[in-house]
């Protein structure tokens, strides 16, 4: 199950006089990530590089920002993927200390920076939800409300007309079982307004 982070977390490494300031934080999309990177560049005008990696809503990025190709952004992205994270931006600001680290040293430095920051991270499970709508006769309203409560569903709306139309959401992995229970309990008198099982 993918996770995101509850809050930003950071770490700082000093490797052969180069300073690496790593931060990993929740991020919605690429545009928001680019705004954070632009702000970091403005806050650290003396930094040699601001490298970053993003995993958010199907959008990913691995930016080396002048480091040798594949030595910064891709290793940082690999750490995020390995940790099964989603909706997360990793950034590392590097101040060059005058000693070259070589490709292997750079990969280790950027990987370690992100990994160290993640040691302090509070992870939050990403639970996919599904919205459903159904109509029931008034006689079944109480039963349906009890079943929604028992399943941990969130009632979004209940409209009273010729029948009671319920609009609710629940974790995706619980939807199929609830649909089956409601169909059985409703004895054919419950109708789905959306396809309950895509």
Q: Report pLDDT for 120.
A: 84
Global confidence as pTM: 0.68
Packing angle between helix 172-185 and helix 141-151, nearest 10 degrees?
150
Q: What is the pLDDT of residue 113?
A: 93
Question: Per-residue pLDDT averaged across 99-107, rounded?
Answer: 89
Beta strands in 88-184 (DSSP E): 88-95, 123-125, 129-136, 154-160, 164-171
The residue-averaged pLDDT of 173-195 equals: 84
Percentage of residues in the chain having pLDDT higher than 70: 97
CB 152 within 8 A of CB 174: yes
Residue 95 has pLDDT above 90, yes or no: yes
Q: Give Cα 177 to chain centroid, integer Å.
A: 26
- Per-residue pLDDT at 1: 66
Q: From residue 189, how far is each of 57, 70, 156, 186 by CA, in Å?
A: 39, 60, 21, 5
The pLDDT of residue 39 is above 90: yes
Tokens standing for residue 4:
């995101």
Asked if 23 contacts 10 with a C-beta cutoff of 8 angstroms, the reply is yes
User: According to the model, what pLDDT value does residue 197 have?
Assistant: 57
Model confidence at 51: pLDDT above 70? yes
């Amino acid at each position: 199950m993918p996770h995101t982070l509850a809050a930003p977390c950071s770490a700082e490494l000093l490797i052969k006089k180069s300073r690496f300031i790593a931060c990993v934080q929740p991020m919605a999309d690429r545009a928001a990530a680019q705004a954070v990177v632009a702000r970091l560049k403005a806050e650290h005008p003396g930094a040699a590089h601001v490298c970053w990696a993003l995993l958010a809503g199907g959008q990913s990025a691995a930016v080396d920002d002048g480091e040798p190709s594949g030595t910064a952004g891709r290793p940082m992205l690999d750490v995020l993927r390995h940790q099964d994270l989603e909706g997360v931006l990793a950034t590392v600001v590097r101040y060059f200390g005058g000693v070259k680290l070589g490709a292997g040293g750079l990969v280790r430095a950027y990987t370690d920076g992100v990994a160290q920051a993640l040691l302090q991270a509070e992870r939050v499970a990403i639970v996919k939800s599904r919205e459903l709508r159904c109509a029931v006769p008034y006689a079944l309203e109480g039963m349906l409300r009890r079943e929604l409560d028992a399943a941990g569903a969130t009632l979004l709306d209940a409209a009273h007309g010729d029948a009671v139309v319920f609009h609710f959401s629940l974790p995706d992995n619980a939807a199929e079982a609830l649909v089956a229970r409601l169909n059985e309990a409703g004895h054919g008198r419950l109708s789905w307004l959306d396809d309950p099982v895509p």
